[in-house]
Amino acid sequence: MASRTGPLERRKSTAGEVAPVDWEGRKAFVGFTSDDAQLLRDLRPVAEAYAGEVVEEFYRRFLSFPETRAFFADEARLNRVKAMQKQYFLGLTEGEYGEAYLRNRLEIGRVHQRIGLAPRWYMGAYSIYMQLTFPRVLAAFAHDLEKGQRAFLALLKIITLDKELAVTTYIAAGEEIITRQSQEIVEISTPVIQVWNGVVVAPLIGSLDSQRTQQFMERLLERIVETNSPVALVDITGVPTIDTQTAQHLVETITAVRLLGAQVVLTGVRPAIAQTLVHLGIDLSGISTRSSLAAGLRVAFDLLDLRVVAGAAPGARE
């Protein structure tokens, strides 16, 4: 049975893992060198001196837009986030940009993705950072503008790398959702229902690709055994196209069911589908088929030797 991961199950996501070697590659690409690391280390005293006011200004901007203000419901939370923001800001000039740094940045990205901060605010925040730090860095290096410029470029590189990691986690989280949802669709779209003691119905809807057929076959066989049903109705009313591969899958499924000692009636075979199957040269002669589910149910009752008898409604009787 495939593993089930419901939407409510908030697993701690590891989406967007970036391997250390990949991280080194990214740094090489933007040209982040050990010189840059050193320049950032030299910026540390400047960062410490300005961290408080940069963070204050940063949140002033965030609080002046309703979309971003919504994330800071109360004072306590705001203060907590400010403290974390300060950590982040100081982290930029930490001086160590190895694996620990990478992990920390990825986790920050995931947290923001999880709380639902849209990328435009998140990316915008980096821009605000640049605006707030640029003049301060230049002022601090007024005596050596050439170094100030290099320091600023180093800061730009590391912030760009941070941004990249954030984007990576956002995209990965989105992909994870898509994968999870498509697995869920596969599962919910192949139900097998017991409609009567001894009769299960599998209404197929949509297109039957290989993955779905596999799931469907497993589920059908399981349910037949579980419910000890001698008859299974496989209804293809909701399948728009049956090509040779779909037909082959259906025939294989039917053969597998027979091996369990049960019988299959293929129902919902519309005239257009029937004609197409003939044109394709697909041989369904060994398989019992009916045009409607109702007709198939009648076959099932016959096979089980059950009779449906019209009678007066209870209570109408004397």
Partner 1 sequence: MTDLLEGEIGIATESDLVVARKAVRGAADSLGFSVTDVTRIVTAASELTRNIFRYAGTGVMRWHRLERGGSLGLELTFADDGPGIGDIEQAMQAGFSSSGGLGLGLPGAKRLMDEMEIASEVGKGTTVTVRKWRRKA
Task: Please choose, out of 27-35, 86-94, 225-233, 277-285, the segment that lies near partner 1 by the rule CB under 8 A.
Answer: 277-285
Tell me the closest approach of the beta carbon of residue 3 to partner 1, in angstroms: 21
Q: How far is CA 245 from CA 239, 241, 250, 252, 283, in A?
A: 13, 11, 9, 10, 13
Neighbouring C-alpha atoms within 13 Å toward the C-beta of 189 = 19
Token duo for residue 270: 């519309």
Determine which residue in the list 53, 144, 243, 302 makes contact with partner 1, applying CB under 8 A: 243
Which one, of 91, 99, 100, 102, lies nearest residue 165 by Cα?
102
Residue nearest to ligand ATP according to CB distances in the complex: 244
Q: Which does 127 bind (CB under 5 to 8 A by kind): partner 1, ligand ATP, none?
A: none
Determine which residue in the list 210, 225, 228, 255 makes contact with partner 1, applying CB under 8 A: 210
Nearer to ligand ATP, 131 or 244 (CB): 244
Q: Does 241 bind partner 1 (CB under 8 A)?
A: yes
Task: Please choose, out of 60-68, 77-85, 243-251, 258-266, the segment that lies near partner 1 by the rule CB under 8 A.
Answer: 243-251
Determine which residue in the list 137, 140, 273, 297 makes contact with partner 1, applying CB under 8 A: 273
Total chain residues near ligand ATP (CB under 6 A): 2
Query: What residue spans of 141-287 are helical by DSSP H?
Result: 145-188, 210-227, 244-259, 271-280
Q: Which does 255 bind (CB under 5 to 8 A by kind): partner 1, ligand ATP, none?
A: none
Contact code string over 220-249 relative to ligand ATP, x by CB under 6 A: ------------------------xx----
Q: How far is CA 110 from the centre of its chain?
A: 14
Is 208:196 a contact under the CB 8 Å cutoff?
A: no
Determine which residue in the list 4, 12, 120, 279 makes contact with partner 1, applying CB under 8 A: 279
Determine which residue in the list 35, 245, 255, 302 makes contact with partner 1, applying CB under 8 A: 245
Please, which residues bridge with residue 265 across strands?
A: 233, 288
Q: Collapsing DSSP states into helix, strand and coil, what is residue 205?
A: strand
Is 197:231 a contact under the CB 8 Å cutoff?
A: no
Contact code string over 180-219 relative to ligand ATP, x by CB under 6 A: ----------------------------------------
Please, which residues bridge with residue 233 across strands?
A: 201, 265
Q: Does 275 bind partner 1 (CB under 8 A)?
A: yes
Which one, of 109, 97, 85, lies nearest residue 167 by Cα?
109
Token duo for residue 210: 């290989």
Nearer to partner 1, 118 or 280 (CB): 280
User: In the chain, which ranges are E strands?
Assistant: 193-196, 199-205, 231-238, 263-267, 288-289
Which one, of 228, 235, 224, lies nearest residue 265 by Cα?
235
Residues of the shown chain interacting with partner 1 in the complex, contacts defined by CB under 8 A: 207, 209-211, 240-245, 247-248, 271-273, 275-276, 279-282
